[in-house]
């Protein structure tokens, strides 16, 4: 009887070890066999306010020692931990040593994104072996590529694009959108009166929401009137603003299509055995992640929080190349596996390319020319 008990215990223990291994594989480096390429697109960490408003009681606050629109210490920790997460998930696939041939990191030209790129790379690739150049410093320099803001064609898409704003105006004039925007008139009026600034569209609400959120994170006291609108009511409009800015395929093409085009092109290039690349990392902003996900039509209307990250993995399974798309918007849960409409969790690459052909730009310079030669676009806003 005792022998049976011992056998049962040993069998149960072995079963638990197997289940533990499967569990670890499911949340960690499980794709070593089929994984070929990773594109990681993430938003910077928590920051100080980038904007203010006329009646802001903290308008003269300098946010020392960080400054306006810069990463806070919490934001720095979050981005470093994001790098550690990537190390845990893809460590076996990438190997321990950093290689320029295998990994490329690109950021927008905004300080907080550049700093986030540095922090993620520090967490992802601490120096090992001969790369450890300082015995007391667990860090090594990793090259970060960037474009000047007004020449950004990939992550912020700040290059002049009159056609985008022309089409956005047309969308705002459509019956469905106009009805929703008209329903916000009372909120616009109230927020304008309280804030002392002109609030007349969802982007204005988003800007004010982001300022209040950043001040709250910095433990500053918000005005009493704020509680009537923040966070819930303003959050709803803020989430809608991201949807509105890439409302149809043409807007998606002009704002999110360039990054998606590069990701798909790099995935196709990886089909060549000589291609050594294993990972592309992109440090951007809320709109960077949201526009990409909406171009793929896998975005659930939400606010792209600090540190949100899209993971687009190229796999080779059963002689087929395809993509698995994940979204990490919390540290409380493993990245969510998303499904491209009309596809399975593993979506063959040619199907993704066919599905997204209407949101992929051919020649952005030509496609950004307005249909009306007299149309005057607004000046660029944002970071």
DSSP output for 42-102: EE---B--S---TT-TTTT---TTT-TT-B-HHHHHHHHHHHHHHHHHHHHHH-SS--TTT
Question: Contact 342/127 with Cβ under 8 angstroms?
Answer: no
| pLDDT score of 22 | 39
Question: Is the predicted pLDDT of residue 6 greater than 70, yes or no?
Answer: no
Render pLDDT for 20-68 as a digit per residue (tens, 0 to 9): 343 334 444 555 599 999 999 999 999 999 999 999 999 999 999 999 9
- Select, from the ranges 265-269, 331-335, 378-382, the one with the highest average predicted confidence (pLDDT): 265-269
Residues comprising the chain, all counted: 383
Indicate the helix (H) or strand (E) that contains 264: helix 257-269
Give the CATH number of domain 32-383.
Answer: 3.40.50.1240
Stretch among 15-29, 137-151, 161-175, 308-322 having the lowest mean pLDDT:
15-29
Q: How far apart are CA 290 and CA 332, in angstroms?
A: 20
> How many other C-beta atoms lie within 10 A of the C-beta of residue 269?
12
Helix and strand numbers, DSSP H then E, in the chain:
13, 8
Residue that is written with structure tokens 């696939």 in the block: 93
Residue corresponding to tokens 């007349």:
200
List of residues 6+ apart from 347 with CB closer than 8 A: 322, 323, 324, 325, 339, 340
Which one-letter DSSP state was computed for residue 363? -
How would you label 319-351 residue by residue, b for 16+ Cβ within 10 Å and e otherwise?
A: eebbbbbbbbbeeeeebeebebeebeebbebeb
pLDDT tens-place string over residues 341-376: 999 999 999 999 999 999 999 999 999 999 999 999
Token pair for residue 248? 């149809």
Measured CA to CA, the distance from residue 174 to residue 170 in angstroms comes to: 7
Q: What is the pLDDT of residue 27?
A: 43
Residue burial 166-193, b: 16+ Cβ < 10 Å; e: rest: bbbeebeeeeebeeebeebeebbeebbe
- Burial status of residue 50 (CB atoms within 10 A of its CB: 0-12, 13-18, 19 or more): middle
Question: Tell me: the pLDDT tens digits for 258-280?
Answer: 999 999 999 999 999 999 999 99
Q: Where are the beta strands (DSSP E) in the chain?
A: 35-43, 103-107, 145-146, 279-284, 309-317, 320-328, 336-338, 347-348
User: What does the pLDDT average to over 111-139?
Assistant: 98
**pLDDT tens digit sequence for 81-92:** 999 999 999 999
Please list the active-site residues. 44, 286
What three-state secondary structure class fits 249? helix
pTM for this model (two decimals): 0.91
Give 16's pLDDT tier (boundaries 50, 70, 90).
very low
Q: Rounded to a whole number, what is the largest CA-CA distance in the chain? A: 92
Share of the chain above pLDDT 70, in %: 92
Tens-place pLDDT, residues 163-179: 999 999 999 999 999 99
Mean pLDDT over 180-195 rounds to 98
Q: Which residue has the higher pLDDT, 167 or 159?
A: 167
pLDDT band (50, 70, 90) for residue 379:
confident
H or E stretch covering 10: helix 2-27
The average confidence (pLDDT) of the chain is 92
Band (4; pLDDT cuts 50, 70, 90): very low
CB 102 within 8 A of CB 276: yes
Q: Are 39 and 266 in contact (CB under 8 A)?
A: yes
Give the residue from 371, 365, 378 showing the smallest Cα distance to 153. Answer: 365
Residue 17 has pLDDT above 60, yes or no: no
Confidence (pLDDT) at 281: 99
pLDDT on residue 383: 74
The secondary structure of the chain in percent helix, strand, coil, rounded to multiples of 5, reads: 45, 10, 40
Q: Is there a contact between 51 and 210 (Cβ–Cβ < 8 Å)?
A: yes
User: Has residue 9 got a pLDDT over 80?
Assistant: no
Residue 135, classed as helix, strand or coil, is coil
């Amino acid at each position: 009887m005792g022998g049976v008990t011992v056998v049962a215990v040993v069998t149960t223990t072995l079963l638990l070890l197997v289940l533990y291994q499967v569990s670890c594989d499911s949340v960690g480096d499980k794709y070593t066999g089929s994984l070929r390429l990773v594109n990681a697109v993430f938003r910077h960490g928590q920051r100080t306010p980038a904007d203010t408003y006329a009646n802001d009681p903290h308008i003269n606050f300098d946010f020392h020692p960080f400054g306006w629109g810069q990463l806070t210490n919490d934001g720095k920790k979050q981005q470093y931990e994001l790098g550690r997460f990537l190390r845990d998930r893809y460590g076996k696939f990438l190997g321990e040593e950093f290689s320029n041939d295998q990994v490329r990191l690109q950021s927008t030209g905004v300080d907080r994104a550049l700093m986030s790129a540095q922090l993620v790379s520090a967490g992802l690739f601490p120096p090992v072996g001969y790369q450890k150049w300082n015995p007391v410093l667990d860090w090594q320099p990793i090259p970060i590529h960037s474009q000047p803001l007004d020449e950004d064609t990939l992550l912020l898409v700040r290059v002049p694009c009159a056609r985008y704003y022309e089409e956005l105006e047309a969308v705002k004039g459509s019956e469905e959108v106009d009805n929703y925007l008209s329903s916000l008139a009372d909120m616009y009026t109230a927020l304008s009166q309280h804030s002392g600034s002109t609030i007349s569209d969802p982007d204005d609400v988003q800007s004010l929401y982001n300022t209040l959120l950043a001040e709250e994170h910095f433990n500053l006291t918000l005005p009493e009137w704020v509680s009537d609108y923040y966070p819930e009511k303003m959050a709803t409009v803020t989430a809608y603003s991201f949807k509105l800015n890439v409302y149809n395929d043409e807007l998606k093409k002009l704002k999110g299509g360039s990054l998606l085009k590069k990701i798909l092109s790099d995935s196709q290039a990886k089909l060549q055995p000589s291609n050594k690349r294993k990972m592309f990392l992109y440090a951007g902003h809320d709109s960077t992640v949201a526009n990409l996900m909406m171009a793929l039509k896998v975005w659930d209307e939400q606010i792209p929080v600090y540190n949100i990250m899209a993971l687009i993995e190229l796999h080779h399974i059963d002689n087929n190349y395809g993509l698995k798309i994940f979204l990490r918007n919390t540290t409380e849960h493993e990245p969510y596996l998303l499904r491209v409409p009309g596809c399975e969790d593993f979506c063959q690459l040619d199907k993704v390319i066919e599905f997204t052909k209407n949101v992929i730009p051919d020649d952005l310079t030509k496609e950004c020319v307005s249909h009306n030669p007299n149309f005057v676009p607004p000046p660029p806003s944002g970071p």
